[in-house]
Amino acid sequence: MWKEIDNKLICEQQFESFTTAFSFLNEVAALAMQFNHHPTIINEYTRVRLELTTHDAGNVITELDRQLAEAIERKMKRSSAM
């Protein structure tokens, strides 16, 4: 699900509805606060794109990015992603 592109972990997912996508993004926001690491979030109706990179490390993928990606992946599997 996550791809490494241009020093970022990128995930794109389609959801059943805008409400479902936004609900998932609320869960991502809670995880971001827990990890104190915040993804770039792009939401267009039912499509969500998340990008993870560590700016403080020079815009590269770090272990923190990988840990947050894994936590988001677990949330996504429990959500209504198509």
Tell me the per-residue pLDDT of 12-53, one tens digit each, with 9 for 90 and over.
999 999 999 999 999 999 999 999 999 999 999 999 999 999
Spell out the residues 6+ positions from residue 81 whose beta carbon is closer than 8 angstroms to its own.
13, 14, 15, 24
Strands 3-5 and 47-52: unpaired
d(CA 35, CA 15): 24
User: The whole model's pTM is what?
Assistant: 0.90
pLDDT of residue 82: 45
The domain of 8 spans 3-78
pLDDT of residue 79: 64
d(CA 39, CA 41): 6
Q: What is the pLDDT of residues 51-66, one digit of tens each?
A: 999 988 989 999 999 9
Return the CATH number at 19: 3.30.1360.20
Closest among 24, 36, 23 to 68, alpha carbons compared: 36
- Number of domains the chain contains: 1
